[in-house]
C-alpha cells in the first residue's frame, strides 16, 4: 500500500524498538527520509544497518537541553511521531507511587513530546512547511487501569498536548493527532506478559475482536495520519483497540 510519502522527511522518537522501530522501517520503505531517535545507540545501529534512508540520533528524551541540542541542527521536516515512553513496568498502588517514578514517566512522554514539537514545529512554521505530527498515546488515557497511575495520567496529558498544538499549529497547516492503541504485541509487552503478568488474557476478554493488535496495525494508522490522505484530520484521538472501549463485557 502506498501513502504517497516518497521524499517526505520525518522524525520518530523511541525508534530503537517496538512501534517506533517498525514505523521507522516502514516509512523508509515508503521512500521517506527518517530521523530515528533513541537513547540506545546499539538498537539504532541495527535499525539503520544497510538502510540509507534512516539517519540515527542518539539522545535521552528525558534530558530537555540535550534533546534540544541534538535536534537544533536538523533540517526542516514534514512532521514527526512522538513515540518515546515508559511501557515496561507498573507504578504500583496509586497511594504509594513515588515522585521519581512519576518524573520518569512525565519526562519521557509529556515533557519530551512538548520539547520535540516545539523544536521541530518552530522550524516548520518558520519555513512555512505544512505537515503532520502524531503522538502515540493509549486507550489508557481514557480508561483507568490498576497500578498504572504514571502511565495513564501521562497519556491523558499527551492527548491534551495533541489538542493544544492542533489548535495553535492549525493556521500554519500543521496537523496534530494522536493514536490511542490498546496493548500491542511488541517485544517489550511480550516480555512483560511472560515475566510479570498475563495482562493480555485480561484485556482480550474485553475485546470483541478477541485478540491483541500486531505492531503493524498501529503503524499503518500512524502513516495514514502523516499522509495527505488525512489532510483535514487534526486534533483527534484515534482509538485502535478492536472494540475494547465500546464493550463492558463480551460474554453473557
User: What pLDDT, on a 0 to 100 scale, did the predictor assign at position 85?
Assistant: 85
**For the chain, which residues make up each domain, given as ranges?**
9-246
- Rounded Cα–Cα distance for residues 216 and 184 (Å): 10
Among 35, 151, 206, 224, the active-site one is 151
Catalytic residue list contains 151? yes
User: What pLDDT, on a 0 to 100 scale, did the predictor assign at position 88?
Assistant: 62
User: What pLDDT, on a 0 to 100 scale, did the predictor assign at position 1?
Assistant: 64
Domain spanning 9-246, CATH architecture: 3-Layer(aba) Sandwich (3.40)
Among 155, 163, 220, 224, the active-site one is 155
User: What pLDDT, on a 0 to 100 scale, did the predictor assign at position 34?
Assistant: 98
- Per-residue pLDDT 10s for the chain (252 aa) are 679 999 999 999 999 999 999 999 999 999 999 999 999 999 999 999 999 999 999 999 999 999 999 999 999 999 999 999 877 677 889 999 999 999 999 999 999 999 999 999 999 999 999 999 999 999 999 999 999 999 999 999 999 999 999 999 999 999 999 999 999 988 888 887 888 778 889 899 999 999 999 999 999 999 999 999 999 999 999 999 999 999 888 877
Block residue for cell numbers 489538542: 163
User: What pLDDT, on a 0 to 100 scale, did the predictor assign at position 157?
Assistant: 97
63's grid cell? 534530558
| pTM for the structure as a whole | 0.95
Amino acid at each position: 500500500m502506498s501513502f504517497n510519502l516518497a521524499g517526505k522527511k520525518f522524525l520518530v522518537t523511541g525508534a530503537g524498538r517496538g512501534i517506533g522501530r517498525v514505523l521507522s522501517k516502514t516509512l523508509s520503505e515508503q521512500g521517506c527520509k527518517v530521523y530515528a531517535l533513541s537513547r540506545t545507540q546499539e538498537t539504532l545501529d541495527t535499525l539503520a544497518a544497510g538502510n540509507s534512508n534512516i539517519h540515527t540520533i542518539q539522545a535521552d528524551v528525558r534530558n530537555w537541553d540535550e534533546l534540544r541540542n541534538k535536534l537544533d541542527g536538523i533540517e526542516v521536516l514534514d512532521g514527526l511521531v512522538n513515540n518515546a515512553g515508559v511501557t515496561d513496568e507498573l507504578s504500583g498502588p496509586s497511594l504509594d507511587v513515588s515522585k521519581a517514578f512519576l518524573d520518569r514517566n512525565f519526562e519521557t512522554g509529556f515533557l519530551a513530546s512538548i520539547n520535540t514539537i516545539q523544536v521541530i514545529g518552530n522550524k516548520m512554521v518558520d519555513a512555512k512547511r505544512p505537515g503532520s505530527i502524531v503522538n502515540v498515546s493509549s486507550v489508557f488515557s481514557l480508561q483507568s487501569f490498576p497500578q498504572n497511575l504514571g502511565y495513564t495520567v501521562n497519556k491523558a496529558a499527551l492527548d491534551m498536548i495533541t489538542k493544544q498544538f492542533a489548535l495553535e499549529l492549525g493556521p500554519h497547516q500543521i496537523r496534530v493527532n494522536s493514536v490511542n492503541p490498546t496493548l500491542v504485541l511488541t517485544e517489550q509487552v511480550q516480555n512483560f506478559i511472560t515475566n510479570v503478568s498475563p495482562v493480555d488474557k485480561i484485556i482480550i476478554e474485553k475485546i470483541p475482536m478477541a485478540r491483541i493488535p500486531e505492531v503493524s496495525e498501529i503503524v499503518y494508522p500512524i502513516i495514514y495520519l502523516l499522509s495527505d490522505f488525512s489532510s483535514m484530520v487534526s486534533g483527534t484521538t484515534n482509538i485502535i483497540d478492536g472494540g475494547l472501549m465500546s464493550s463492558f463485557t463480551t460474554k453473557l
